[in-house]
Amino acid sequence: RFPIVSAVDIGGVTVARNDVVRDDDPTNNVPDSIFSKLGIQLHRRDKHPIGIIKNAIYDYFESNYAKKFETFEDLSPIVTTKQNFDDVLVPADHVSRSLNDTYYVDSQTVLRCHTSAHQAELLRDGHRRFLVTGDVYRRDSIDSTHYPVFHQMEGFCVFSPEDWNESGKDSTLYAAEDLKKCLEGLARHLFGAVEMRWVDTYFPFTEPSFELEIYFKEDWLEVLGCGVTEQKILKQSGLENNVAWAFGLGLERLAMVLFDIPDIRLFWSDDERFTSQFGKGELGVKFKPFSKYPPCYKDISFWISESFTENNFCEVVRGIAGDLVEEVKLIDSFTNKKGMTSHCYRIVFRSMERSLTDEEVNDLQSKVRDEVQRKLNVELR
């Protein structure tokens, strides 16, 4: 299904497949389907929804801030665990560090799981206000708003005492208010009137921390995380007398709201019926679905073992069905008297581009059954 290429170009640097996908290294969990996404950089295509929204966000910052935000969009997505985790204070035992959540190239190198991986480095290099856009990678669940490769834009802004002193507010409150005002303004710039709400949350690198949700297709959709930067991060760059805010935008999520795109897989489609609907700088477009092909539902039940995880299961399904899988959902779970736990998952197969035949779907499902059994140490029921 995935053309196996031997090398990709990441910002002018050639990276060999064998450097990223290593069958001999137990800490390597990067499949070919993920390797093949490296270097594509949808955010640098001016006629692609991700590129269009990036440019619209740049416009917002240019027209609303006298002091310029520097932009970076070509930093390599292959980073060290220090950059991705330690530099932003992610605790040693945090789940995001696990092989279950993150793609590891080797024990000390990962595909960045967020653009926050570049914060500390850019601060150390003397940058004080910047936007970093890039592709990020995560092992995750499968549905219309989650994809293992997506795009984020990091924003970072450092303030000096003179900025908050005249406001009469303490520095943290000043930064938190400025941050919320900035992002609410961005949402209005992109969407006009839209229903949104702030939710308190936790990130290791900010305090306080917030997420912004937007009402979309009858549900709340989380579009970004943000907060006031932990003082320890600023101190690493000699900025102990400053305060800063930071945010990480989910560009697919914002583009889904802006263009009314119903499924995150569409961003990777090269079907002309999708790509031809978007033009450089065109923000007013509403996506017209070319057709909704029928879904096909297949259930699979098995006794799990202790090592079972949903992300591993989703990766097996995705490895076989690629973008023909629309959703994977746990629909039943129980534990019997012997203490064995059974899971039943419903897999929704649907192509964005054509009708699938029964034969094709049966074949996919049978491959899923074989591979789940072979790779995940479960007992099919």
Residue from the set 33, 81, 109, 152 that interacts with ligand FA5 by CB under 6 A? 152
Q: Binding segment for ligand FA5 among 25-33, 163-171, 244-252, 276-284 (CB under 6 A)?
A: 244-252
Please list every residue from 250 through 289 that binds ligand FA5, using CB under 6 A: 250, 252-253, 264
Binding mask 15-54 for ligand FA5 (x = CB under 6 A): ----------------------------------------
Measured from the CB atom, the residue of 45 and 146 that comes closer to ligand FA5 is 146
CB of 162 to ligand FA5, least distance (A): 24
Closest CA relative to residue 302, chosen from 211, 373, 234: 373
Q: Is 26 helix (H, G, I), strand (E, B) or coil?
A: coil
Whole-number Å distance between alpha carbons of 1 and 365: 15
* 140 forms part of the interface with ligand FA5 (CB under 6 A): yes
Region of residue 59 (left: phi > 0; alpha: psi -120 to 50; beta: else): alpha
Backbone angles phi, psi at 246, to 5 degrees: -145, 150
Q: Binding segment for Mg ion among 33-41, 82-90, 221-229, 292-300 (CB under 5 A)?
A: 221-229
Q: How does DSSP classify residue 365?
A: H
Whole-number Å distance between alpha carbons of 117 and 106: 17
CB of 201 to Mg ion, least distance (A): 7
CB of 81 to Mg ion, least distance (A): 20
Length of the chain: 381
Q: Binding segment for ligand FA5 among 124-132, 145-153, 268-276, 295-303 (CB under 6 A)?
A: 145-153
Torsion of CA 187, 188, 191, 196, to 10 degrees: 60
Q: Binding segment for ligand FA5 among 44-52, 68-76, 243-251, 341-349 (CB under 6 A)?
A: 243-251
CB of 248 to ligand FA5, least distance (A): 3
CB of 203 to Mg ion, least distance (A): 8
Distances in Å between the Cα of 66 and the Cα atoms of 62, 69, 123 are 7, 9, 20
* 110 forms part of the interface with ligand FA5 (CB under 6 A): no
CB of 214 to Mg ion, least distance (A): 13
Please say whether the beta carbons of 135 and 148 come within 8 A. Answer: no
CB of 256 to ligand FA5, least distance (A): 9
* Three-state secondary structure string covering 329-356: EEEEEEECCCCCEEEEEEEEECCCCCCC
Amino acid at 121: E
* Chain mean position to CA 3: 23
* Through-space distance between the first and last CA atoms of the chain, rounded to whole angstroms: 28
Q: Binding segment for ligand FA5 among 34-42, 143-151, 272-280, 286-294 (CB under 6 A)?
A: 143-151
Q: Binding segment for Mg ion among 9-17, 150-158, 220-228, 339-347 (CB under 5 A)?
A: 220-228
CB of 375 to ligand FA5, least distance (A): 22
The bridge status of strand 70-72 relative to strand 129-137 is: parallel
Residue number closest to Mg ion, CB atom? 225
CB of 291 to Mg ion, least distance (A): 33
Measured from the CB atom, the residue of 218 and 306 that comes closer to ligand FA5 is 218
- Annotate 294-318 with b (16+ C-beta within 10 A) or e (fewer): eebebebebbbeeebebbbbbbbbb
- Cα within 13 Å of Cα(296), Cβ side: 19
Measured from the CB atom, the residue of 266 and 361 that comes closer to ligand FA5 is 266
Amino acid at 316: V
Whole-number Å distance between alpha carbons of 348 and 143: 9
Please say whether the beta carbons of 187 and 179 come within 8 A. Answer: no
Q: Binding segment for ligand FA5 among 16-24, 32-40, 203-211, 272-280 (CB under 6 A)?
A: 203-211
Out of ligand FA5, Mg ion, none, what residue 29 binds, judged by CB under 5 to 8 A for its kind, is: none
Please say whether the beta carbons of 122 and 88 come within 8 A. Answer: no
Kindly list the residues in this chain that would bind ligand FA5 in the complex (CB under 6 A).
Answer: 114, 116, 138, 140, 146-147, 150, 152, 154, 203, 205-206, 209, 211, 222-227, 246-248, 250, 252-253, 264
Kindly list the residues in this chain that would bind Mg ion in the complex (CB under 5 A).
Answer: 225
